[in-house]
Chain A
């Protein structure tokens, strides 16, 4: 059921991408289909904590605001955490390479905390969540382009036990 929904979402995103590409230039077509408003919407690097529970949310440049899609992902994580009360998690906050190292460390921490706060409002105890920032030190995509940077601006929920 959940998987079906994801496929549906992917299809929708791809469809939107095609629609957008009609008015975008050729070179940006591919990027447009995976970035919306500077936030990565693709599934390229995403892993799953459980069936239908994506492990990460993405952010706009210099931002730590959760998008609608991010909040949906985090609600799924919260539901999964409620069901699996013995599991603790670490939220790993990351930034892209287009910022100074120290500011990015702080920004990664802020992003992970944005995710933590949301999980807490959905009933997950703060004692089950720890936070770590890697700043720009652990990119998932080594590219030097907007798409790669958008994949790297993320908070990843990782099982701690």
Chain B
């Protein structure tokens, strides 16, 4: 009786809404039926094509931009980009007015079209998103940039499409900073590297002369904090990616490590180890004032602020073993939140504020998981021989982390790679990197 009434109410509420927005993508569950989408090549005039080919050494930049979009959409796990071979309509005509029957015939539910104009050496790309079943345009935007930034156009288009269809911000116009690794396991050479979220445009930021670890993005700008063994003194450093200027910020009389920015980007929170104990400190980047946050004979490390800056999650072995704790940002009200079997490390607060991602070690296996900020609702997303250090996509839907392989009986076959997985536990993917890689950190959206 009640159920029937409830159902009726649901139908009354949701039915009209549903008919207004024909296509929508639910990102809160593992998506086993990704939305079929057609990404038409971005069209351009022959004259522009020739000019762009001269500048970029790429035959058809419009086609390549559409491939960036397709790859992003596919990687998200929420969309199924259809094979261009099956498209019946030419890109330039489709962009003016799609023949929706043709696109419906190949089972496309959404269609992306676009057009390139080259003017005064600048690349102007306009694109449209069409709802095939409703037979109408649902989004139209244009962007202008220098031609060599063409991949970013593809990422921005994907972000706009993702946002329009899922109702949440995208994460495609972003970069990953990580540690590039080479050489045998007992003598690894490590360099800071940065790349676009899809693995392109890799740049190496250090030469590999000294060990570098755990780079993390400032959520508000292009600064990075990391640990460097420069002159064999492990200290926290700050690096401006734009200018390449590096400076030591954690020059304490001992090792400083595990740095991360505060959400407003104005402070660095880190561990300082001396005399066998590690405690958590902050440093204000403007006035360089240092504050001690924890004071305990145990190891306190891997601090991570909540997005509102009011709390800090951290790793401590004060109970005897590695567990996750939360405290107020002044160090008061310390509460242990991890109580499951095993050891817990690397807490990272979600940018949405509701979850903490972590690494768990239990019975010889490593897990990446999430729990609510009170420690309840633990969910393990992936299990492996070795994996750790999750970092959130800026919209809090995807985690990137690194995984190392077991060596064989001769101690060979070691590798370290970046992987990503959706918060749902689905869509686990290897992230392309030029070299072996570890310690990934995801940037904020570069544009909005």
Contact = CB atoms under 8 A, between A and B. Distances in A.
- Do the two chains bind? yes
Interface of A: 62, 64, 97-103, 105-107, 109-110, 113-114, 117, 131-134, 137-144, 148
A139 B188 CA distance: 10
Nearest to A110: B276
A142 B411 contact: yes
Nearest to B344: A100
A114 B297 CA distance: 13
Contact of A139 (B185, B273, B388): B185
Contact of B271 (A64, A102, A132, A140): A102
A64 B301 contact: no
Most buried by A among B214, B273, B414: B273
Contacts of A139: 185-186
Given A101-B439, A102-B346, A132-B255, A109 B407 contact: no
Given A105-B234, A106-B301, A114-B276, A137 B188 contact: yes
Interface residues of B, number: 45
Contacts of A117: 276
B407 A142 contact: yes
Interface of B: 184-186, 188, 211, 213-214, 227, 232, 234, 254-255, 257-258, 271, 273, 275-278, 299, 301-302, 315, 317, 321-322, 343, 345-346, 359, 361, 364, 385-386, 388-389, 404, 406-407, 409, 411-412, 414, 439
Contacts of A144: 385, 406-407, 411
A97 B258 CA distance: 17
List the 5 closest A-B pairs by CB distance, nearest first.
A113-B276, A142-B411, A100-B345, A142-B185, A106-B278
13 contacts: A97-B386, A99-B322, A100-B315, A100-B359, A102-B214, A102-B315, A106-B273, A110-B276, A110-B299, A137-B211, A142-B407, A142-B412, A148-B411
Contacts of B321: 62
Contacts of B254: 109, 131
A103 B276 contact: no
B255 to A, nearest CB: 6
A134 B211 CA distance: 9
A113 B235 CA distance: 18
Nearest to A126: B275
Given A101-B213, A110-B278, A114-B276, 6 more contacts: A100-B315, A105-B213, A139-B185, A139-B186, A142-B184, A142-B412
A119 to B, nearest CB: 13
